[in-house]
Structure 1
Amino acid sequence: MLMADYVHEIRKLVGHRPIIMNTAAGILLNDHNEVLLNERVDTGNWSLPGGYLEFGETYAQACVREYKEDSGIDVEILDRIDIFDRGEVHYPNGDITQTISRLFLVKQVGGHELDHVTDETLSVRYFAFDKLPPLLNQQTADMLSAAEKFIQKN
């Protein structure tokens, strides 16, 4: 059973109280080995396309769904990179979340990069691993570092 809008339902119950949530994100590279990031509406900084799991969803399903929502791109999972459990986000609305994130290597199988602002994304852009913009949090930096090492090994 997939329960859409699970995060909003939880927040109605707990308010801004710190909670632990599961997320999934993907690493998509272009021909220059640059990684696609999305500029976030809520914080104004950059993160990997991805987001919270809905109740009943797997990490892989959430990655594919959230990637499309955040970037406009349809992806397929190629490989698992790692799990990251040391991430805390303080949102402008007062919510505090510790995120446990599963990171995947993905490839584009359809869609196209967003060319308009959505309720979550201001823009999407590829960046070199050594020229990253201001990131959402340390976990995002850790995920990008792990992805760069994973790609170099494979």
Structure 2
Amino acid sequence: MATGYIGDIRKLVGHMPLILDTAGGILLNDRHQVLLNLRTDTHNWSLPGGYMEFGETFAQTCVREYKEDSGLDVEIVRPLKLFDQGIFAYPNGDKVQTITQLFLVRKVGGELLSAATDETLRLDYFDFGKLPPLLNTQTEQMLAFAEEHL
């Protein structure tokens, strides 16, 4: 079950479809590969990032979620694009439309997680042309945008 702000909302509305704000980051290594995390909930890959907590900005959400999902401290280099057509159904039946602000980020500290957490099974860098099974269409769109514009 979801915790924090999303968990509180789900207690009130059950499985009703929600529109939720999210933020994610593109982190490239020196080989121009992008960092992705293998998710525990869906067992496919996504960009580190996640849902905004009440009172946060998109940038604050990206930095916080990046640390939670990857173990890395990042700073925002610049906003890339807002994606607003992300409709997704979780395995438990929860449906969401995610409005995601995508950022280019730079590592400023921390280390990649060395063990699985409650959100991330593992992390790896991938070539844009050789991506693993992705979370959803919005993730595909964000990575295609990054490949074309970075």
Give TM-score scaled by structure 2 length.
Answer: 0.97
Write the letter of the residue equivalent to 1:113. L
Q: Which runs of 4+ in 1 moved over 6 A?
A: none
Please list the CA deviations of residues 66-88 of structure 1 after superposition, one character each: whole Å capped at 9, or x if unmatched: 00000000000001100000101
Identity among equivalent positions (%) equals 64
Question: Distance in 2 between the 1:39 and 1:96 partners?
Answer: 20
**Distance in structure 1 (CA, Å) of the matches to 2:126 and 2:87:** 23
Task: Report the equivalent of 1:50.
Answer: 49
Kindly indicate whether residue 85 of structure 2 is the aligned counterpart of residue 91 of structure 1.
no
Shift, 1:129, TM fit? 0.2
CA RMSD of aligned residues (A): 0.9
Look up the match of 1:71: 70
| 1:52-77 Cα shifts (integer Å, max 9, x gaps) | 00000000000000000000000000
Superposed CA deviations along residues 9-61 of structure 1, whole A, max 9, x for unmatched, are 11111111110000000000001000000000000000000000000000000
Which SS does the other structure have where 2:101 is aligned? strand
Aligned 1:1-150 pairs, distance under 5 A: 5-150=4-149
* TM-score for the superposition, normalised by structure 1: 0.94
Name structure 2 gaps, 5 residues minimum.
Answer: none
Structure 1: tracts of 5 or more residues without a match = none
Rounded to whole Å, the distance in 1 between the matches of 2:94 and 2:118 is: 17
Aligned residues: 148
